[in-house]
Amino acid sequence: MRRQWRYGAFALVAGMTLSLLATAPPPPAPIPRPLAEGGRQSLDRRARDHVGGNGYWTKDRLRRAFRGGERAKDGSGPVVDIDDPKLSGYKLGEGKMGEGYNFAGIPQIGTFFFRTGPVSTAQVHTCSGAVVNSPSGTIVISAAHCWYGVNAQSIVFIPQFTLVHGRPQAPYGVWEMSGTKIYIDPRYGKGSGNGVAYDVAILTAAPNVANQTIQDVAGGLDMAIDSATQLSEVEIVGYPESDSSDHTYTTAYPRHCRNATTTYTEAGAKFFDIACTGMAAGISGGPWLVRDQSNSWKIVAITGGGQDGGGYTDDESVGVPMTANVSALIRKAERFEPGEGRDWSQARLMAAGDFGAVESSDDLVVTWLDGKSDLYLGSGNVKSPFMGVKRVWEDAASSLRMITTADLDGSGRDDLVTLSWDGSVHLIQDPGSGSRRRLHLNRNDPLTWVNARQIVGGDFSPDGDRKKDDLLVVWADGTTSVYLHVSKHGLSKDHRWPIGGLAGLKGSAGGKDGPLAGGVKGPITAGNFGGGSLTDVMVVGRGKDGRTRAWLITDDPPKGGLPVYRITEYDLEAAGIDPADVVATAAGNFDDKATTSDVMIGTRNAGLYALSGVSVGKTPTRGDLTTVVAPQ
């Protein structure tokens, strides 16, 4: 389908190099391959060498937070098989009931470091915490009494921290807590019993320098809500903040103990109570674990209660149960306002895709005028569609003409596809998983793509495979074509799209005299707007009559094995959006209906709107429109 006009601008260059091209045919189009499957993400080297905490923490400052520590040395992997007499050799679920043991720890549990003011040089190591599985992948749970009334600054959390032979080890990285915001139930510290029933704190960890979340790297633990407080076996874990005089416990390693629990009551609230030796101050905030039917650990409580430092005594501990209040606190911590910290008048490009933040909910990639790109993590709730943001690029986006999403490598997760001003097309594979692998897709045919203006990923193939591995291209003359099954063939051959071309579109706005018969000129996005088997397209732009409107191009039942496409005008103004103000669109699944019929709309006045349930035959209302970022 490559037409002669695409090469016209390069006739001189092409003529000069004709003899070379005749003797050296272009290489075949590269075919994307899925990244190797794996479980928890390995820690990126950049992240391993980085120590967070608003630029304050250094390896030696971490070391000085421990008495007697030697000069810090990087940990290069999980701490296993350590030859240290301080270790017991008993892992979780092992050892005598009621007896505490020092052990090498697990990645989901760690300890905190902070300083007591923005200019303080006092380094503090105290309390324990655990990574909780959550949509954002950022949640760390601890005890409120560790943080209530404390001017903690430069807080970092280190999963599976150990002090092996006096040298600090951080095999899963040093994670900076986002700002200094710590979420504590307002009832804590007030009223009867000082609110000890609410002795839970939620902190959020910022992504590391490789844009991985703490849950990506260390994994997380699920919570068991409203568990009975009398159980036959519970395992508690925590980090003592000092060494015992009789060498029972040490600050160098976490400690664990299992035993039956009883119910402890204070101020009308019920707590877990457990008898375990050597579980000293510092274990506060550490999780209380039980095994579920799949043999996975779940958190039923955290060490807290505020009774004598949370541990009550070294040999008896009190646990605050996981309840709906804790879940609500986590939701509050994950609540996100995308308009804060960013000037949306600087937004250039948008694309929606499934990068894995929340199962069956899409995320939004936004590029900015300063060259940066951010990934807004979808929440699954179109009324509050995002729950966090991760940086994708620092400075590469300024060279981009267009971005889209598609599963071009067949991995089951969306990839990010970019079109640069020089015509180069790149694939960034599975960016939601922390990958940064880039593949140049059209190095075999760069001249053709200089005339590409827009790209849209989707399933445009009539073979019924339901794979989102096709790439639709809008060319400089407004015509469109599609590359089918890029995961199998690369960008080797394009085909006319729709079949018969834009002038052949069915419907009241179709035909050779239809508004788009002269080509697509305006923002375009792909979604499911007609209920058919193939990907549909929304176009916002000027028609032949000069008016700016929106149209839906949807597939009808196929004829003779070929798809039939219909064009229908869509009334954006009925939802309160002037089509002339639209500068960017991105369709995806931003609600709980498992369709890609919600459209993010960026406008000239720096507003961002979510229009839910876009569909042929349905006139939108203002009730379908949610203001995500208020216009300026």
**Mean pLDDT over residues 170-191, rounded?**
84
Q: Which domains does the chain have, with CATH numbers?
A: 6-37+336-629 (2.120.10), 45-332 (2.40.10.10)
Instruction: Name the more confident of 160 and 335.
Output: 160
Whole-number percent of the chain with pLDDT over 70: 81
Residue 147: pLDDT over 60 = yes
Q: What is residue 329's predicted lDDT score, i.e. its pLDDT?
A: 95
pLDDT tens digits for 86-119? 788 899 999 999 999 999 999 999 999 888 766 6
**Mean pLDDT over residues 604-624, rounded?**
95
pLDDT tens digits for 502-533? 888 988 888 888 888 888 889 999 999 999 99
Q: What is residue 24's predicted lDDT score, i.e. its pLDDT?
A: 56
Do 256 and 215 form a contact (C-beta atoms < 8 A)?
no
Torsion angles phi and psi, residue 498, rounded to 5: -60, 170
Q: What is residue 356's predicted lDDT score, i.e. its pLDDT?
A: 65
pLDDT tens digits for 552-606? 999 988 887 788 899 999 999 999 999 999 999 999 999 877 788 999 999 999 9
pLDDT bucket at 39, cuts 50 / 70 / 90 = very low
pLDDT bucket at 435, cuts 50 / 70 / 90 = low
pLDDT bucket at 11, cuts 50 / 70 / 90 = very low
Q: What is residue 432's predicted lDDT score, i.e. its pLDDT?
A: 66
CA distances from residue 400 to 368, 584, 600 in whole angstroms, order as listed? 10, 14, 20
Minimum mean pLDDT among 72-86, 240-254, 294-308, 477-491: which range?
72-86
Burial 83-117 (b: 16+ CB within 10 A, else e): eeebbbebebeebeeeebbbbbbbbbbbbbbbbee
pLDDT bucket at 180, cuts 50 / 70 / 90 = low
**Mean pLDDT over residues 193-206, rounded?**
88
Residues with Cβ within 8 Å of 375's Cβ and at least 6 positions away in sequence, in order, are: 211, 355, 363, 364, 365, 389, 390, 391, 392, 431, 432
Instruction: Name the more confident of 61 and 137.
Output: 137
Residue with tokens 């002038």: 503
Instruction: Name the more confident of 103 and 40.
Output: 103
Say if residue 168 is preceded by a cis peptide, omega within 30 of 0.
Answer: no
Q: pTM score, two decimals?
A: 0.70
CA distances from residue 489 to 32, 48, 231, 404 in whole angstroms, order as listed? 9, 38, 58, 19
pLDDT bucket at 336, cuts 50 / 70 / 90 = confident
Q: What is residue 44's predicted lDDT score, i.e. its pLDDT?
A: 53
Instruction: Name the more confident of 3 and 403.
Output: 403
Instruction: Name the more confident of 486 and 1.
Output: 486
Average pLDDT, the chain: 83
**Mean pLDDT over residues 426-444, rounded?**
81
Q: What is residue 607's predicted lDDT score, i.e. its pLDDT?
A: 94
**Mean pLDDT over residues 169-196, rounded?**
82
Residue 38: pLDDT over 70 = no
Torsion angles phi and psi, residue 327, rounded to 5: -60, -40
Residues with Cβ within 8 Å of 417's Cβ and at least 6 positions away in sequence, in order, are: 403, 404, 405, 406, 408, 425, 426, 427, 428, 441, 455, 457, 471
pLDDT bucket at 84, cuts 50 / 70 / 90 = low
Instruction: Name the more confident of 393 and 282.
Output: 282
Q: What is residue 255's predicted lDDT score, i.e. its pLDDT?
A: 93
